Structures are given as structure tokens and as C-alpha cells.
Structure 1
Amino acid sequence: MSALWRRSDLVRATGGSAHGAWQDVSGVVIDSRAAGPGDLFVALHGPNHDAHAFVGQALAAGAAAALVDRADDHPSLAGLPVDAALLRVADTLKGLERIGVAARARSRARIAAVTGSVGKTSTKEALRHVLAARAATHASAASHNNHWGVPLSLARLPAAARYGVFELGMNHAGEIAALVATVRPHVALITTIAPAHLAFLGSIEAIADAKAEIFDGLEPGGVAVLPADSPQFERLRARAAAAGATIVTFGRSATADCRLLHAVSDLSGSDLSVRLHGRMIDLRIGTPGEHGIANALAVLATVEALGADPVQAGRSLAEVAPAAGRGARVPIRLAGGEALLIDDSYNANPVSMAAGLSVLGRASGRKIAVLGDMLELGPEADRMHAGLLEPIDRQDVDLVFTVGRHMQALHDALDAGRRGGHTASSDKMVPLLREMLRPGDTILVKGSLGSRMKVVVEALTDGEAAGVRPQAN
């Protein structure tokens, strides 16, 4: 396994002191359960656990060394052998950040940073896929987009990578500014602006301003990729221009640089015709719905801005399917046949809810929505939940099951024929669904992560739903 970091480079980057017999490391981890031969285990102080308690476990699993607090009297390190492989620093999170900064400083990769209210992770993963088909590409794992996830992702950036893709998230102003200062992208993409985190930011304009912090960290000559169809476009454009960025736009707008000309969609994806700076690109994408189309346009524009081939990227997009929790389609067994589950349980806001319902609207058979609370929406939360009635009507959804305090407002707004049922928590929804589902149904499960709609998905996909009995019309 090739070295990611030499011992001497880590000492120089962190300003720490090395102890024990270790040389190079091939990976960086913060979870002792994931530690393996060659890894540097970073012992972070979390809200619930101090990872110093797991240093011995990580070293026993083969980790090359552990990044730990400098204090010799740290109680969790007292039982380690005197020759334990350690890199001691004043603060382990700061040490991780400094490793990330060093990784970015040595890298010659073309770097893209992605943020937005909807579609960050899906777009980041699509960029990873299409760029990796061309050259060595590194990208953030999972949704590692916060104060520890971004430096961890940077610390894992191989020196030989040709492309890097990093996801930046926030729920308060100022957070993206701090993250992008270390990523220093050549291309900054905003997927869309939606009413997420209103409880913390107060207005859609404030959300746009917080997302636009991504332009402040652009490298000289950098490119800002913007959603031309967004009501916040002019606000974003002005902020990008003030940062000295070259502006590239995507969308359905006649003025978009990457413009959708035609789309034919079904439940498994869309066939698109796109014009990108005068170049025609026909492609198939494996992600259904309007949000899938918008993300694909953003990917093509970003790929071109990075200096890669958007036509090749378009061919690769057909291979990108929605991930678990983000629109994955999963057949589920029922008594007498199968139904189709659309697992969109990872997160939700009013815009992504409407997008998920638009995918459900393409289904044949009964269309069933199982919707959990959208969180962090502030004092207008109940109104926004009740407002989902409009896309539900537009997509002709047959039954709607709701979960959570705010979803009560939607349940109350539904006509009696559409009310599948309401429960306070996702676990209480499972038996109700088992009674109601039947073969041929298509079921959308969606909600904010905190509403725990994954509980419903797991119950219906692990075999427990096999005993659901069919219902009469």
C-alpha cells in the first residue's frame, strides 16, 4: 500500500512530536472501528465521546500511529505502552486541520467545491464518478462536509490526484467561509438555494449569502457555477463577481451557459439534450426527476470548468444511480408480489420534497407518500408542511402517510380519501404501512434525517414486510 503521508511530513504539518517506531501512513481515520493497517487514527474530542479512549483499540487493529493530545497525563493514554506510535499535538482537531492544509498545499489537482441547499452529496458523487473515468480523482466520503469532515477529506487527498471534489455544508453564517479557505477550489458550484436552516438563518436571502461564502475561497482565476433558474441567482451572481470569479450558469433559462433544451423522463432517469457554450450534448442520466436533471447540468458545467471533457462526462452520467437515502429504488416483497420503494429518507426541505413527489408522480399503480418532518424551518414550519398539499395534488398521489409534529399540519390539510394515517414517530408508522401496502404500489419515503424515516425504509426492505397482506380497492 503506497504512503499517503511520511512521518516527517506529518510532524512538519502539525508541529507535533512523534513517538514510537512508525514511518509512513496510508490512510487517515477518526473512527477506531474503521482503523486498519497503515492508518493514522485521529483522536478527536466529540460531543459524546473522547476518542482518546479508543487509541489502544486502533493501534491494536494495525493503525500506524495515533494523533493525540500532547498532555502526558491524559487519563485515556495512561495504559498505552511506552513505545506506542503517537503523534502528539496541542489540539487534535487543529492538528487534523493542519494536515488538511498541508495536503492542499502540496496538491496539483484541479479542485471543485460543492454546496447548496439540495443535491450537494448527489452532485459531488456524480462529479467523482465522471472525473474518475478520466484520471485519478479524490472526493469527500459520505457527507463529510463540516468542521471535521472537510479537513478529514483534505487530509486523505493523495499527492498524485488529478482532480479533487469537496462538499461544503453549513447551518449558520460563516461556516462555509472557514471551510473554503482551506479547500481553495478552482471551481465553486452552488446547486440550488432552498428554505433549509431557516431556523438559524431567518430568510432565504440569508441562506443565499451563507452559501455564497464559497466564492471567497476561490483560487485566482476561479470559476463560479450558478443555478440560472434560481430566484436568488442575481444575489449569487453579484457575490461571485465581487470575488473576481468567472461566472458559468446552468438551467432551463435561455441565458444559461449549460442549457437544457429537451428532456424526456421516466421513473428510472431522463434523456437530455443540452447545449454547453454552443456545444450540443445528448445524454442519458440514471437519476429521475427535475432535481436529477438540474444536478446533471451542474456536473457538465463544472467538468468543463475543471478542464475535463463534458461529452465524456455525459456518457458516464448514465451509470450514476441514486444512493441509499437519496432516491434509491428498492423492490420490496409483499404477500402476493412486489412493490417499489423510493428511499429518499436522508434529508428534506420544501424544494426537495416537491422534487421527490415529482418522481413519485411518474409511477404507475398506486402512488404512496410516507413523509416525515422537515426540520430547521423556523416559525413558518407548519405552513410549509401544509404547503406540500400543492405538489401532492399536482402529482396525483393516492395516499399520504405523515410522521411528526409538523407533518400534522399536512395531515389536517389532506382530504379524507388521501389520509393514509399519521403517527408521532417513524417506528409507530411501520405497522400501519404493513396493513396498507399491496403489490404494485410505489412508495416514496422522505423526511429530514432527524425524523428517522430510515426506520421505515429498513423495516420494509429487510424482509419483515414480506407478510404484508394485500388490500382490496
Structure 2
Amino acid sequence: MSALWTSDAIAAATGGTTQGSFDCNGVAFDSREIGPGDLFFAMTGEQADGHDFVERAFASGAAGAVVNRAVDGPHILVPDTLKALEDLGKASRARVDAKIIGVTGSAGKTGTKEALFAALDRFAQGKAHRSVKSYNNHVGVPLSLSRMPADTRFGVFEMGMNHEGELAALTRFVRPHVAIVTTIAPAHIAYFRDEAAIADAKGEIFEVLEPGGTAILPFDNGQYARLRAKAEKHAAHIVSFGFGEGADVRCIDHVTSADGGTLVTAKLPHGLLCYALSQPGAHWVANSLAVLAAVEAVGGDLAQAGLALAEMEGLKGRGERTTIQVAGGTALLIDESYNANPASMTATIGQLGKTPATRRVVVLGAMRELGARSDEYHADLLQPLNEAG
């Protein structure tokens, strides 16, 4: 297997100076995540300086490091390690002949990204790549790009934001052929005028679409028309998904399956597709429709995508289900602890109400960054909580 990066290629991409020759097969900026053969970026942050952990990184097997001051061990010396990471991400994007998909939205980004990766990896085994965890910010996106092998056929990248202009900057790194907006909801609304402003910020993902690019939009969302108007300025093709009459990729039927998942019948522009979805809930049905639209847009296989959706396991912190022992028997633990906003809370509580149980208990954390209406958004959860029992 050829190396992900050679020291010469890293130096060429970053404009750095090589001290010692090396090859690497992975990239990380957290010394705790370093494995044998990885490249360690010593990032300088508000809380810590990565240069203090270079020795630990080498002890964990790092092949080399990118630093802004000389260290013991093979390294690339650069003036600014964050810019070097950005430059390596850009070089990675430039060297691949792959279909690139960007995913954003107020909720469902990570699940949609993971489902899309599973669908494309099943079709082109070992040739699909995606951002790991929720690395979707100004550091995580270039890191995820830098980890993309040169022979990748499909790349899927999650992008997040909580301020105007952030998504446009991230999209310039990713340069997607397909851009998905999962939904618009009052997440991070403390930093925006209203949901229309959130839609405008999410719509920045369309601004750097590659020529002939496709925008995939949530048809049932209240901001659909606004998103579409933005997409029409930049996208050659627009595909809508949802439950409503008129959606290009539309769920025409969905029922709960015996194993707790969902059986879905979807109408696509060129026919019907019936598939099983391992994850429960209408929000996951909507996510799966966006996945199908993207798979078709990049020339993937819809039948393989359907099989992948049926086999997806629950994501840690995003609906993972575990049976645990409790006094007197067993209980089903549903882990939705990663993040919280009004849309994801309502969807999760609603799905809990449909889950067979003799007793239901929810442990809720606060929803953050909701601004002046925070109390109202929290109080609004009373209705779905009551309906869920």
C-alpha cells in the first residue's frame, strides 16, 4: 500500500522545510489519537500548545510532525501549523479524481454523512472516504481532507457553522460536486436574526459548487423556497427530498418494521425504491431520502445504498440503542447525548413515544445557543414530552 503522504509531498503542499525523510499513513492533531505511522500536527490553541505533546506523539508511533519550531524527530518546519493543515487539505482535494459531497444542516449532518459513506463504500469498497466523528469546523474539515487517499472515488464531508461566513470558508476547501442541506431549525439561533438568516448561512454551501454541481434540499422545510433561490444561483441541478407532494425524492409510505427500524417506499425521478432502514423515526426517513438523492447524483448504486441503510448500526450519541440490566429486568437505553437543539429534541422525544415500553424516562441536558427565546424553546418541549408519555 502506498503512503498517504511522503515528507516531500507534505513540504511541497505546505511550503515547509523537511528535517528527516518519512512516509505517513494517517494525520492527527490530538496526540491521544496518534497511531503508528501517523503525521502529527502540533497546533497552538487557547488551552494548550501541541508542541508540548510532540514527544508523546513520537512515543505513540508518529512517523513525523508538522511544527513551527524545531523538535527532536523527523518533522516539517512551517511558520503556521494551522495554515499548513489547511494547505495540506487543499492539496489533498486537488490531487483526487473523486466525486465530493458536502453535508450541512441544523440537525442530522453526522447521521446523513455516515449513511452516505456506508452507501458509497458498499458500492466502491475501500474507495470511499468521509470526515470522522463530527470534525466539521475550520480545523476538522482540512484535517478530514488531508486524510483522504489519493485514489478515493467518493468523498463525504460534514460542515458546520454557528456564524455567517463560516460555511463559505469551509466549502472553499471541500469544493463539492454535491451539496446537501438536511434541514433548517433554530440551532445556534443566538447568533442569527431568525431562521431565514440561518438558511442564508447554510446556503453558503452552494456558493463554491463545482461546475455542473447538484444542490439537495429539504422540501418540507419552511425555508425551502429561500434555500432553493440561493441554490438556483450556483447549482446546475436541484433535487428536493421529503414527504410532501412535489418532492423529487419522496417518501410515499413508511411503516415500523418488526426489528424496530422502518420499511420505506420512496419515489425517485426514475422509479420506486423499497428499502429497510435500520434506524427508527421520520427524521431518519428524511435523512435516507437525502442519501438516495446524493447517491444518484454521483452515479452510485441505489440498490447497494438500500442494503447499506438496512445494515447501519446506531451511532454513538446519536440514537445508539443498548439493552441494559436494571432491577427487575432489562431496559432499553437510547443515547442521543451528543448534541441538542429544538429540532433534534422534538424528533427524539417523538420517537421515544413510539417505542414500546411500560415506562419511559428522559434525562435532558440544556439546549444551548438559543438566544432570547431559550426559555420558550425549552418550554415547547412539554408537548412532545406529554405526547410521548
Partner of 2:350 in structure 1?
358
Which 10-residue stretch deviates more, 318-327 or 151-160? 318-327
CA contact (8 A) 1:333 1:339 kept: yes
Residue 237 to residue 390, structure 1, CA distance change in 2 (3 Å): same
Partner of 2:38 in structure 1?
39
Partner of 1:452 in structure 2?
none
Hey, what's the Cα distance between the residues in 2 that align with 1:296 and 1:171? 25
Shift of 1:38: 1.7
Shift of 1:132: 0.5
Aligned sequence identity (%) = 52
Hey, what's the Cα distance between the residues in 1 that align with 2:186 and 2:157? 23
Q: Which has the higher contact order (CA 8 A, sep 6+)?
A: 2
Matches within 5 A, 1:211-230: 211-230=202-221
Partner of 2:119 in structure 1?
130
1:268 corresponds, among 249, 260, 267, to 260
Partner of 2:308 in structure 1?
316
Residues 414-434 of structure 1: per-residue CA shift (max 9 Å, x gap): xxxxxxxxxxxxxxxxxxxxx
Partner of 2:239 in structure 1?
248
Partner of 2:58 in structure 1?
59
Partner of 2:364 in structure 1?
371
Hey, what's the Cα distance between the residues in 1 that align with 2:344 and 2:163? 20
What amino acid is the match of 2:157?
A: F
Partner of 2:14 in structure 1?
14
Hey, what's the Cα distance between the residues in 2 that align with 1:219 and 1:346? 32
Task: State whether structure 2 residue 388 is matched by structure 1 residue 389.
Answer: no
Residues 284-341 of structure 1: per-residue CA shift (max 9 Å, x gap): 1011111111111111011101111122201210011321110111112112211111
State how many pairs are aligned.
385
CA contact (8 A) 2:179 2:215 kept: yes
CA contact (8 A) 1:301 1:310 kept: no
Shift of 1:171: 0.7
CA contact (8 A) 2:250 2:289 kept: yes
Shift of 1:368: 2.1
Residues 157-215 of structure 1: per-residue CA shift (max 9 Å, x gap): 10011100000001111111000001000000000001000111131111111110000
Shift of 1:34: 2.1
SS in 1 for 2:361: strand
What amino acid is the match of 2:332?
A: L
Flag structure 2 segments of 5+ consecutive residues without an equivalent.
none
**RMSD value, Cα:** 1.2
Matches within 5 A, 1:146-295: 146-265=137-256, 268-295=260-287
CA contact (8 A) 1:202 1:378 kept: no
Which 10-residue stretch deviates more, 229-238 or 346-355? 346-355
CA contact (8 A) 1:122 1:322 kept: no
User: Could you tell me the TM-score, scaled by structure 2's length?
Assistant: 0.96
Hey, what's the Cα distance between the residues in 2 that align with 1:48 and 1:388? 35
CA contact (8 A) 2:93 2:145 kept: yes
Shift of 1:254: 1.1
User: Could you tell me the TM-score, scaled by structure 1's length?
Assistant: 0.80
CA contact (8 A) 2:7 2:76 kept: no
Which 10-residue stretch deviates more, 100-109 or 355-364? 355-364
Runs (4 or more) in structure 1 with deviation over 6 Å come to: none
Shift of 1:357: 1.1
CA contact (8 A) 1:215 1:245 kept: no
Hey, what's the Cα distance between the residues in 2 that align with 1:268 and 1:115? 27
CA contact (8 A) 1:325 1:345 kept: yes
CA contact (8 A) 1:271 1:285 kept: yes
CA contact (8 A) 1:218 1:245 kept: no
Matches within 5 A, 1:384-463: 384-395=377-388, 397=389
Hey, what's the Cα distance between the residues in 2 that align with 1:57 and 1:353? 40
Residues 63-112 of structure 1: per-residue CA shift (max 9 Å, x gap): 1110000x45xxxx4xx3xxx21100010000000000000000001110
What amino acid is the match of 1:108?
A: D
Which 10-residue stretch deviates more, 350-359 or 181-190? 350-359
- Please say which structure displays the higher CA radius of gyration: 1
Partner of 1:90 in structure 2?
79
Partner of 1:325 in structure 2?
317
Shift of 1:385: 0.6
